[in-house]
Amino acid sequence: MRHIPNVLTVLRLLSTPVVVWLILQRDLPHALILFFCIGMTDTIDGTLARKFGWTSKFGAVADPIADKTLLVTVFLTMGYMGYMPVWLVALVMLRDVAILVAAIILKRAGRVTEFPPSVFGKASTFLQLLTAGSILLEWPADPSPFFYATAALAFVSAGHYAIIIRKKLD
């Protein structure tokens, strides 16, 4: 039983290419259903891991990788298919790469042992999921407010991470 969270994480990783394929086929209703189910597995595995203490080193590493893999591939695919502006895809990817590089540098320099997400980082990820979901749902007819809100929060979270990183370097 204690491996259920890890199994759900692996299923999430394995389901991500199917979501991408559905988007490439312009089958947004089925992509939305699978995207939602994948999101639910993330909620379920996290809840089980915390509630029953079913945490593991594998889960600690694989869970955020599965989450980021889903978002990155869905954003890239949506940008490629023209559902999302390329500038937004580039902004979100640049932010993620910058945070990842900074975390690796800080860890290798011995400044941190872990680099947990900030409240703004979590909010940014949530809004990215909401933006992708709204496109898959095809609501609203003009999703540009979601695009601008996602971009704004990406900037805010990047600035917040910059402050955190600066403090760790001092």
Give per-residue pLDDT as tens, 94-122. Answer: 999 999 898 888 888 888 887 788 899 99
Q: Are the C-beta atoms of residues 96 and 76 closer than 8 Å to each other? A: no
Residue 12: what pLDDT? Answer: 95
Q: Is the domain of 94 the same as that of 57?
A: no
Q: Are the C-beta atoms of residues 70 and 16 closer than 8 Å to each other? A: yes
Residue 84: what pLDDT? Answer: 97
pLDDT > 70 fraction of the chain, expressed in percent and rounded: 100
d(CA 57, CA 53): 12
Whether residue 156 lies inside any domain: the answer is yes
Whether residue 108 lies inside any domain: the answer is yes
pLDDT band at 167 (very low <50, low <70, confident <90, very high): confident
pLDDT band at 62 (very low <50, low <70, confident <90, very high): very high
Residue-number span of the structural domain to which 156 is assigned:
84-170
Overall number of domains in the chain: 2
Q: Is the domain of 88 the same as that of 165?
A: yes
Q: Is the domain of 112 the same as that of 157?
A: yes
3-state secondary structure at position 158: helix
